[in-house]
Amino acid sequence: MVFNSLTFLLFFALVLALHHLPLSWTWKKGQLLLASYLFYAAWNPPFTLLLLLSTVTDFHCAAAIHQSRSSTGRRFWLLVSLGLNLGLLAIFKYGSFLLENWTLLLAQFGIDFTPLAPDIILPVGISFYTFQSLSYTLDVYRRQLKPWPSFLDFAMFVSFFPQLVAGPIVRAAEFLPQCVLPRRANPCQFSWGVTLLILGLVQKVILADLLLAPLSDRVFAAAFQAGWADAWIGTLAFSGQIFFDFNGYSTCAIGTALCLGFVLPDNFRAPYGAIGFRDFWQRWHISLSSWLRDYLYIPLGGRSSRRGRTLVNLMLTMLIGGLWHGAAWSFVFWGGLHGLYLLVEHLLSPSFQASALSRSSLVRSSLALLTYGLLCLTWVFFRAEGFSAAWQLLLAMVSFQPATLISAGEICQVLTLSLCLLAFHWYRRQRSFEEVFASFPWQGRALLIVLSLLALLVSSGDDRAFIYFQF
């Protein structure tokens, strides 16, 4: 069940109706929990057992950690939680990848090993809810959070349907306190929630799927035939597509939750207006980047007094972040490329910050464009069907081959959308989306919503799942 479907709209209307019945708060939370499991079961019902297993394990492991009097006992229960969650993730997400690479490794030593092809289906959203549930156990272990007494609340925290399958990855300290008292959106919250849902769908259905996805798909599917304009326009199209797709989902999730009275954190803050890659990762997929910072980078040693150790910590965090996105070496390389950018930035930033150039608007805007250009190069490895296709597209970018895959009109379409996206992100670097939206007169806001609804009603295109469902 996806947000951009009639099934979800009917489902959500029923959830809202039940949520406003004059029932006790406990019953309403039970209804939301049931709705969340039904929402997840719409993809593959048996995988709800994995979700339940992770929930039960982490709830009881956190309680055992808190009750343990010895450090050995605390570590044991933490390892149980880590072992089960990461074990399930390894089997379902990385099982085939690990087996394939083990076979290739044996072949290097002359050992012919032909295993049975594993028939493993990737549970949708497993990376998201695994990290979310694990953060609770880790916070209890680090004594930053006490075990939550209500299993119902915790189960709803892990499975809350608006953000279950593609984030934002919510922390227990942000969500669980909202479960104590009855939640019901006031008129202002409800109207803003509906607005976010509509605008999120426009980003997904119109901008990502209708205008950009067909172009990027065409170029990346025929990478070996691409000319220089094909390669650049296809990459720009994908950079816009993945933002509108993922930010569209996050916007829908935040809006849907707000209609029910729950507040979820922002997941994007104008990432294509970033100046440098440290700034980018503070704006892109914020819930994941902050998770990796708090539960991986800092425990590794973070910003160590030894520069070499800091650089190793940065690179290792980004490599694991790349692997989180998918079981393929191209994702690892994508993470490593981001790590390399961060290493160079870490080495150069002290000198730059001390110079007068750092305060120049022209220099800062130029650095933002450079950041975006380098970022687009990383998207090639993220999207391409393997390294050979990625390298071919990069070579095409510096070739003099004419465009053969896209028309002049499509080039203008992608360039226009890309320039508008960059300008909007630069404009709202220091502003929230809500502030920008509220700055327009009410007539303009109303017109935007009406036009958005009309566009959604008349649009026709592929019924595409959100890109990050595969992660």
pLDDT for res 212: 94
Put simply, whether the predicted model's pTM sits higher than 0.85 gets the answer: yes
Q: Is the pLDDT reported for residue 289 higher than 70?
A: yes
Least confident of 133-147, 196-210, 299-313, 337-351: 299-313
Q: What's the pLDDT score for residue 119?
A: 67
C-alpha distances (whole Å) from 386 to each of 239, 319, 320, 340 are 18, 17, 19, 20
- Tell me which residue has tokens 């295109």: 461
pLDDT at 461 > cutoff 60: no
Return the C-alpha torsion angle 159, 161, 164, 167, nearest 10.
-130
Report the pLDDT averaged over residues 388-413: 90
- Checking if the pLDDT of 463 tops 90, the result is no
Mean pLDDT of 302-316: 80
Distance of CA 164 to the CA centre of its chain: 11
What mean pLDDT, rounded, does the chain reach?
Answer: 89
Say how far apart CA 140 and CA 138 lie, in whole Å. Answer: 5
What pLDDT, on a 0 to 100 scale, did the predictor assign at position 462? 60
Averaged pLDDT for residues 322-335: 89
Q: What is the SS3 assignment for 290?
A: helix
Over the stretch 411-455, which tens digit does the pLDDT of each residue have? 999 999 999 999 999 999 989 899 999 888 989 999 999 999 999
| Predicted local distance difference test score (pLDDT) of residue 325 | 86
pLDDT at 110: 76
Tokens, residue 202? 């426009």
At residue 23 the predicted structure's pLDDT band, cuts being 50, 70 and 90, is: very high
Please report the DSSP string for 171-231 in residue order: -HHHHGGGGSS-----HHHHHHHHHHHHHHHIIIIIIIIIIIHHHHHHHHHTGGG--HHHH
Query: How many C-beta atoms surround the C-beta of residue 226 within 10 A?
Result: 28
Alpha carbon distance 282, 317 (integer Å): 14
Give residue 304's pLDDT.
Answer: 67
Is 467's pLDDT higher than 80?
A: no
Residue 307 has pLDDT above 80, yes or no: no
User: What does the pLDDT read at residue 356?
Assistant: 67
Q: Which amino acid is at 176?
A: L
Taking 90 as the threshold, does the pLDDT of residue 464 lie above it? Answer: no
Mean pLDDT along residues 12-23: 93
From 285, 325, 338, 425, active-site residue: 325
Q: What is the pLDDT of residues 44-54, one digit of tens each?
A: 888 899 999 99
What is the mean pLDDT of the segment spanning 233-260? 95
Sorted by sequence, the CB contacts under 8 Å of residue 46 that are 6+ apart come out as none
**pLDDT at 311 (0 to 100):** 87
Confirm whether 325 is a catalytic residue: yes
Structure tokens at 183: 């939640």
pLDDT at 305: 62
Confidence of residue 230 (pLDDT cuts 50, 70, 90): very high
Between CA 259 and CA 193 the distance in angstroms is 5
469: its two tokens? 């469902």
Confidence at residue 360, expressed as pLDDT on a 0 to 100 scale: 79
- pLDDT for 108 equals 77
Region of 306 on the Ramachandran plot (φ > 0 left; ψ -120 to 50 alpha; else beta): beta
d(CA 393, CA 223): 6
Instruction: Tell me the C-alpha distance between 309 and 302, whole Å.
Output: 8
